[in-house]
Amino acid sequence: MLKNSIINLSSISEKKEGSTESQIFRLTNRVVQLTYHFETHGKDYSSQRGLRKILSKRRNLLTYLFKTNLMSYQDLINQLGIRKLKRN
């Protein structure tokens, strides 16, 4: 069940391994995995800390992608189904 729910997009995974898009893709997969983990282990506080670090890293990468390549940012947001960045 867990493997079926993890996002699998071939267009993103075919890009370069270290590209910003592929890093965001991998971090999003890890967020999904941790979300399912918390359904059964709600008081796993060390994993919650790790999730916050992952979300922070993903937010920073999304900010960078937004500033450098807006079209790629919008495509990635739509494909992964994550919210847009908050604009102050």
Q: Give the domain ranges of the chain.
A: 19-80
Q: What is the CATH number of domain 19-80?
A: 1.10.287.10
Q: What is the pLDDT of residue 7?
A: 59
Q: What is the pLDDT of residue 66?
A: 97
Residue 88: pLDDT above 50?
Answer: yes
Q: What is the pLDDT of residue 16?
A: 82
29-87 residue pLDDT tens: 999 999 999 999 999 999 999 999 999 999 999 999 999 999 999 999 999 999 999 87
Three-state SS string over the chain comes to: CHHHHCCCCHHHHCCCCCCHHHHHHHHHHHHHHHHHHHHHCCCCHHHHHHHHHHHHHHHHHHHHHHHHCHHHHHHHHHHHCCCCCCCC
